[in-house]
Amino acid sequence: MADTERRTGFLDHLASRGYRWSNKHCAWCGKYWEQLDHRGLFPRCEACSDDRTHNRRALFLTKESAEPPEVRFAGVFKAARMLLEDGAEEDRVFPTLGWAGLEVRESGGERAKLRASLAEAPVNPGEWERLTRELSGKGGRIRPIEVVGGVLVLERVPVTVKVWEGPEPEVWIEVMPRSRPASPEEVASLYEQTMREHALPSEEERAVSLTSYLTEHHLRLIVKPVFLGTHMGEGPPDGSFPSPGLVGDAYRGLIEGNLGESLRGRKRGRGWKPETLIPAIVAFFLRTYGGMVGRKEIHKLLNEHVLDPARKGNVPRLERLPEEGMSASASNQLWKNAERAHKQLIRTMHSL
């Protein structure tokens, strides 16, 4: 249990820096729907209390703001309207709205500056590439697509391949959770390209040394060189990495069944519809970053700044939310969707 005096002093320090928190939701994942554990520095839900991930960010400590929600969340509203009108798939919805939400959390900050730089970068391909690397960071799990009307459109990368060279070289293939996980052909193609760039032989077609790990964030495949034959000399023999075709076949065998469903973030079936996913994420941000506990104010903001404008545009099928404080099927479904979507949203935000 954290020392009470030390805990209070640290929270007072954060408060002096303009940060606030709510004892009504988890500081790590923003959940409102479970009992919270207050033994640590910040309130956490049971799942986050049990998480042992090192250096995990508390995404829902946010700076105070005197701006009205119409102004403070203007970027989130604009991104939501654009995504609705475009009928965007979830692989763009989660990172695009996640980025907009983090800008709200930070009251602009470095993310707003990077977005502004990306808006000016298309005239200079080299600058766009440099800024893309800066955004992707070491993980490379998110890539920018374009900046439209001040909205940074992002997309989840299907797969990355990293080479760790040394006395015992390894190749890490990381497959990201998406509505449609990377195909075996995509994995094999990127693996082949990466091995060629690093001048590593990948010709073994008889055996593959592959270890797989499924985490909340991705499926990681660790590939090592294999030696087949008789070794007569001293020291370990030099092996060869498996061929791209063999790696693709091994990946195909792994994603069939439950593992593939985990990468899609759901059981088999249709994915999220934009008209159900996007309002749910906006509602989640209004509640966790805006501190709005009641539904009435959130419904009103969603109607005025997201749903009504989109209905007048290209999305007439959108249903308005009740603003009289009464429950209805549309409002109940909205909050069920917010609870369902938040795990994928938080997982994506940790990649940004």
DSSP string, 21-63: --TTS-TTT---SSPEE-SSSS-EEHHHHH---TT---TT-EE
Q: Is 225 helix (H, G, I), strand (E, B) or coil?
A: coil
Give me 131's structure tokens: 């800024």
**pLDDT value at 87 more than 70:** yes
**pLDDT value at 79 more than 60:** yes
Of 46, 63, 80, the last residue of a domain is: 63
Q: What is the DSSP-derived secondary structure letter of residue 121?
A: G
Distance from C-alpha of 217 to C-alpha of 343, rounded to nearest angstrom: 10
> Angle CA(295)–CA(278)–CA(290) in degrees, nearest 5?
40
Window from 23-32, 56-65, 315-324, 326-335 with minimum mean pLDDT: 56-65
Average pLDDT over residues 239-267: 80
Give me 60's structure tokens: 């829902």
pLDDT the model gives residue 2: 43
Strand partners, 151: 148
- Where are the alpha helices (H) located in 36-142, listed in sequence order? 46-50, 69-72, 74-86, 90-105, 109-120, 125-136
Q: CB count, 10 Å around CB of 216?
A: 14
The whole domain housing 237 covers 159-264
pLDDT the model gives residue 15: 65
202 within a domain of the structure (yes/no)? yes
Work out the pLDDT band at 5, boundaries 50, 70, 90.
very low
The full length of the chain comes to 352
Average pLDDT over residues 116-130: 84
Average pLDDT over residues 241-247: 91
Of 238, 264, 290, the last residue of a domain is: 264
> Angle CA(333)–CA(338)–CA(344) in degrees, nearest 5?
135
Give me 234's structure tokens: 């001293």
Q: What is the DSSP-derived secondary structure letter of residue 305?
A: I
Q: pTM of the prediction? A: 0.80
Work out the pLDDT band at 9, boundaries 50, 70, 90.
low
pLDDT the model gives residue 297: 92
More confident residue, 352 or 145: 145
Of 24, 48, 63, the last residue of a domain is: 63
Express as a percent the part of the chain with pLDDT over 70: 82
137 within a domain of the structure (yes/no)? no
pLDDT the model gives residue 280: 96
Distance from C-alpha of 71 to C-alpha of 114, rounded to nearest angstrom: 20
- The domain total for the chain is 2
91 within a domain of the structure (yes/no)? no
Q: What are the backbone dihedrals phi and psi of residue 240, each rounded to the nearest 5 degrees, phi first?
A: -120, 145
Distance from C-alpha of 46 to C-alpha of 28, rounded to nearest angstrom: 11
98 within a domain of the structure (yes/no)? no
Whether residue 218 contacts residue 258, with contact meaning beta carbons closer than 8 Å, is answered with no
Q: What are the backbone dihedrals phi and psi of residue 225, each rounded to the nearest 5 degrees, phi first?
A: -65, 150
332 within a domain of the structure (yes/no)? no
More confident residue, 108 or 138: 108
**pLDDT value at 229 more than 60:** no
Whether residue 159 contacts residue 91, with contact meaning beta carbons closer than 8 Å, is answered with no
Q: Is 217 helix (H, G, I), strand (E, B) or coil?
A: coil
Work out the pLDDT band at 4, boundaries 50, 70, 90.
very low
Average pLDDT of every residue of the chain? 82
**pLDDT value at 1 more than 50:** no
More confident residue, 134 or 281: 281
80 within a domain of the structure (yes/no)? no
From the CA atom positions of the chain, what is the Rg in Å? 23
pLDDT the model gives residue 130: 85
306 within a domain of the structure (yes/no)? no
Strand partners, 306: none
Exposed, middle or buried by CB within 10 Å (0-12, 13-18, 19+), for 6?
exposed
Whether residue 248 contacts residue 185, with contact meaning beta carbons closer than 8 Å, is answered with yes
Q: What are the backbone dihedrals phi and psi of residue 292, each rounded to the nearest 5 degrees, phi first?
A: -90, 110
Distance from C-alpha of 205 to C-alpha of 201, rounded to nearest angstrom: 12
**pLDDT value at 10 more than 60:** no
pLDDT the model gives residue 230: 56
User: CB-hemisphere CA count at 13 Å for 207?
Assistant: 9
Average pLDDT over residues 313-337: 83
Average pLDDT over residues 86-110: 91
User: CB-hemisphere CA count at 13 Å for 34?
Assistant: 17
